[in-house]
Amino acid sequence: MVKLSKTNLSRGGGELCFALLVLAVNVLAVHAASPEIADVSIGQSGSKLVINYKLKNAPAIVTFDLYKDATEESDGVRIDPALLDNASGDCHALIQPDASQNRRILWQYAKKGLEPGNLQKLKARVTAWATNAPPWYMSVDLRPATPAALRRRYYASADDVPGGVTNDMYKITHLLMRRIPAAGVEWVMGKEDRPELHTRHAVVLTRDYYIAVYEATRGQWATLNGNALPENPKYPVNQSYDALFGQNSPYPDSLDVPSGVGMTAWRNGTGIMSLTLPTDAQWEYASRAGRASRCPWGPDNLKTPDNTYDPVVMTNYANWGTQSLEDVGRRLPNDYGLYDTLGNTSEWVRDWQSEGDNYFETFQEQMLAGMPVVDPVGVSKEKASKASNVAARTTRGGHYHSYWSYIDCAFRNWYPPNSAGADWGYRLCCAVPGL
C-alpha cells in the first residue's frame, strides 16, 4: 500500500523555498495483521526535520529514507544515509502499533552542515518491516550505561549502518549482526572427503536468523562487563564452551543457561534472550553465504597443482599460516558480509561432535528418502565423539595456525568443551528480530 501526499515546510514564520513529498511504504509479511504505515507528514522544529507517521495493525521495525529533488513520478536523489545517522525518535527500532498515536522521526540536518537550500523537494519513505522479516542489519550497543530502549537499532542495508560496517565501534562497543536469509532454502551441507565426518546431505533451516558480522572480541567482552579495554581489544575473545554455557550444558535438549556464565552475561547485557551460538548447520550456511563451494572465495578448483588452496587467495580472506591472532575484519568478507568465518580463531558452535554411525544417524533416514534434514541440532551427549576421554563440542573454520585443510566451510573439528586459549573463539547468533 502506498500513500502519497504533499505538504510545505515553514520556519520562523517564513516559508522555505522547497516543497515536500511524502511516501509511506509497507513491507508485507506473513501475519494475522500486517503492519501498515499511515498519515505520513513532514514538518520542521527549529533546525530539525520532523517526519510524522502512524503505525497500525501489528508491531514493526521502522526505518526511513529521504530523497531530494523528487517529483510525484520519481524518487529523485537519495540522501546519503551517512548524513542521516543522527536521526532519533521512532525509527530504526521496534515500534508498537497505535493508530491514535503520532510517531516522530527527528533529523538534525543543520548538524550535518546542511541548509534548506540543500534540501529541495524532499520525499520521505517510511518502511515497516514485519517482525518475522526484519531489516538486514541489527546493531546492539554494549555499553552498560546505554538505556535498554536504545540498545538495539536496525538498518536496511550495509550502506545504512552508521559509520559503515567496518567502523571500529562494531568491534569494541557495539555488536553488529547480519540477518541470514535461510528460511525454506534447501542446500547441501558437508563435502566429499572423509564421509564419516562430512557426508554431503540436504538441509533446510526453517527460519532466518541474525549472526554477528565479526567474531566476538576482547573489547566487546570488556565493554559488556563495564571493564577497561584490554590489550589488542579487536582480537577475538578466547573462551571455552564451558565458560559460555557452564559444565553439563543441556543443549540440544534446552537452550537455558545457568547464571554466572558467559552467555548469561551476553543475554543480560544486550537484552536479547535468544542470544546463543549458531548450530553446526547455521554456521555452515552463513559461512558458505549461498555458495556451493567449500570456501567463500570461489570454486573448489582454485587450487595449486599439489591440491592445496592457493595461499595468496586464501590469505585474502583468512588469517591463516601466521603466528598469531589478529584484529577481526582485516581480511575480505564473504558474500553475506561476514568476516573471518575461516581462520583467525576456531569458532565454537552449539552441537556435540559426532562421527561415523552416530553422525550418519542425524541425516541418513531423510537422505535415503530423498528428503532434507530440517533444522538439525546434532546428537545427544551420549552419542558425542570423545576428545581426551570427554564428550566433545564442535568447532568450525580453523584458526591462524591450522592445517590448510581446516580452512574450509564444511570442515568439522572437535575439542573438549573446557578447551581455552587463542585457538578457540566464537560468533554470536540470535533469533529474528533480535529479542
pLDDT band of 120, cuts 50, 70, 90: confident
Amino acid 311: pLDDT: 72
**Domain range list for the chain:** 2-130, 137-431
**pLDDT digit string, tens, across residues 365-394:** 999 999 999 999 999 999 999 999 999 999
Amino acid 12: pLDDT: 29
Sheet of strand 88-89, all strands in order from the earlier edge strand to the far edge: 36-45, 48-56, 103-107, 88-89
- The mean per-residue pLDDT over the stretch 143-169 comes to 96
Amino acid 304: pLDDT: 55
CA distance 397 to 350: 14
Amino acid 28: pLDDT: 38
pLDDT band of 75, cuts 50, 70, 90: confident
- Largest Cα separation within the chain, whole Å, is 80
Amino acid 13: pLDDT: 28
pLDDT band of 19, cuts 50, 70, 90: very low
Amino acid 307: pLDDT: 53
If phi > 0 it is left, if psi is from -120 to 50 it is alpha, else beta; for residue 342 that is beta
Amino acid 32: pLDDT: 53
Correct CATH for 137-431 of 3.40.640.10, 3.20.20.80, 1.10.3720.10, 3.90.1580.10: 3.90.1580.10
Predicted model pTM: 0.92
Amino acid 315: pLDDT: 86
Closest C-alpha to 19, from 107, 123, 126: 123
CA distance 337 to 178: 8
Whether the per-residue pLDDT at 52 is higher than 80: the answer is yes
- The mean per-residue pLDDT over the stretch 283-297 comes to 90
DSSP alpha helix (H) spans, 225-310: 241-245, 262-270, 280-288
Whether the per-residue pLDDT at 147 is higher than 90: the answer is yes
Closest C-alpha to 336, from 293, 284, 287, 295: 287
Q: Are 161 and 155 in contact (CB under 8 A)?
A: yes
**pLDDT digit string, tens, across residues 301-342:** 555 555 556 777 788 899 998 999 999 999 999 999 999 999
The whole-chain average pLDDT of the chain stands at: 89
CA distance 65 to 73: 17
- The mean per-residue pLDDT over the stretch 158-170 comes to 97
**pLDDT digit string, tens, across residues 390-418:** 999 999 999 999 988 898 899 999 999 99
**pLDDT digit string, tens, across residues 213-272:** 999 999 999 999 999 999 999 999 999 999 999 998 999 988 899 999 999 999 999 999
Whether the per-residue pLDDT at 15 is higher than 70: the answer is no
Whether the per-residue pLDDT at 102 is higher than 80: the answer is yes
- The mean per-residue pLDDT over the stretch 91-103 comes to 95
pLDDT band of 193, cuts 50, 70, 90: confident
Whether the per-residue pLDDT at 27 is higher than 70: the answer is no
Burial of 231 (C-beta count, 10 Å sphere; 0-12/13-18/19+)? exposed
